[in-house]
A and B are shown apart, each in its own frame.
Chain A
Amino acid sequence: MRNFYRLLPLFFFFLALLTSGCKDKLPVKDDLSNAHYVFLTQDSSRVVFPQNVKGKVVVLGLIFTHCPDICPLITNNMERIQKEAKKEGINDISFVSISFDPLRDRPSVLKEYADVREIDTSNWVFLTGRQSEIDSLKKQLHYVSIAGDTTYSESGEPSYFFVHTDRITLMDKEGRTRQEYKGSSLNVDEVMKDIKTLSD
C-alpha cells in the first residue's frame, strides 16, 4: 500500500505529460478569442464573430458563392464533416462559412446558396459583412483572396473570380485557431480526430 502512495505522484506526472501531449498536437495558431467581427447571417441577423460560436468547436471555411469548382469542394467537405460529427453524436460543434465577396454575397444570396445545396443549417451559419471587417478577419487568419479581371455576359452581367487560399480551419471553443486543412481535399477522419481532441 505504501508503494502505491509512493507511485501516485509518478502516475500524475505521466498523466500530465500525456494530456499536455494532446494539447501540443494542436497548438494555438491565431487567437481570435477577443475579436469582434460584425457580420450578417444568411437570414440577415446581426452576429459578432467568433463570440456567436463561443463554447463550440468551429469548422470554418471562407468562400465566395460564385465559385463553381473550388469553394463547392470546400463546402462539400464541411458537409462531410458535419454528417460525420452528427453520426458520432458530437453536439458542441458549429460550422461557419464566411464570404470574402460581400459585394455579390448579400445575405439573400448566401441563403439561396445554402438552400439550393440543401445544407443543414441547424448548426451551420453563412456570414457576410462589410469589406473592411472581412479584410481584417482575412488578415488575422493569414488568408488571401485576389479578384481577377471582370468580364461581362451578353446581358451585361459582371463576372469575376478569385484566386484564394484553399483552407478549412478548426477553432477551439475559446475562438482560437488550432488546425488548418486543405479545404478542397482533406481527410475527414483526420479532422474528426482533431475535433474530438477539442470537443468534450
Chain B
Amino acid sequence: MFILIVLMMIMPFQQKAQIEVKNAWMRPGAKDMNSALYFEVINRSNKADTLYDVKSDLAQKVEMHETYRQGDMMGMRPVKMVAVGANSSFKFEPGGHHIMFINLKKNLKKGSPGGEVTLYFRHAGQIKIKPEVKK
C-alpha cells in the first residue's frame, strides 16, 4: 500500500507533457520592423488540441499567419487557430505557418535572447517559450 501511494505521488512528475513545443527560433529583426517565430508542436495526448493565441511583449502586435503560393506569387494571410491532431505534430516553418511579430520593440540580433512568448492551447493551457534568434 505504501509503495502504491509513493508511485501515485511520483507518476505525475514522470509523465511527459502532453503538448511539447520544441526547436523554437526567431528571425533577426530591427526595432520597429517585423520578425517571424517558428517551432514544432508535438501532441502526445489522445485528443486534438488547438493553438488559438500567442502573446509576447517583444512586438506591438503578434499574429498567427500562413504563407501561400499562387503561381509565382507569394503572400501571407492571418489564421485564427491551428489544430494539432491527437498523437501528431505540427511545424511552424519558413514558407509555411509562422507567428508574425509586427513592429518589434527592440533589435533582435542573431544569438541575442529573443524574450518570452506565451502560446495558448485550448486543452494544454499556456506554454511559455524562449526562442533562439538565428538566421
A residues engaging B (CB < 8 A)? 65-70, 72-73, 76, 79, 109, 112-113, 115-118, 144, 148, 153-155, 157, 159, 161-167, 182, 184-185
Contacts and interface: CB of A to CB of B under 8 A. Distances in A.
A73 B72 contact: no
Contacts of A162: 75
Given A116-B28, A155-B60, A166 B74 contact: yes
Contacts of B69: 166
A69 B96 CA distance: 8
A165 B110 contact: no
Nearest to A162: B75
A3 B23 CA distance: 69
A154 B62 CA distance: 12
A164 B74 contact: yes
A116 B65 contact: no
A106 to B, nearest CB: 12
A180 B101 CA distance: 30
B80 interface: no
B29 interface: yes
A66 B61 CA distance: 13
20 contacts: A68-B29, A68-B35, A68-B36, A68-B65, A68-B98, A69-B67, A69-B94, A69-B98, A73-B95, A76-B135, A116-B30, A116-B107, A118-B135, A154-B61, A155-B103, A159-B103, A163-B73, A165-B73, A166-B73, A167-B72
A89 B76 CA distance: 37
Contacts of A73: 94-95
Contacts of A72: 27, 36, 94
Interface in B61-83: 61, 65, 67, 69-70, 72-76
Given A148-B75, A155-B60, A117 B108 contact: no
B21 to A, nearest CB: 19
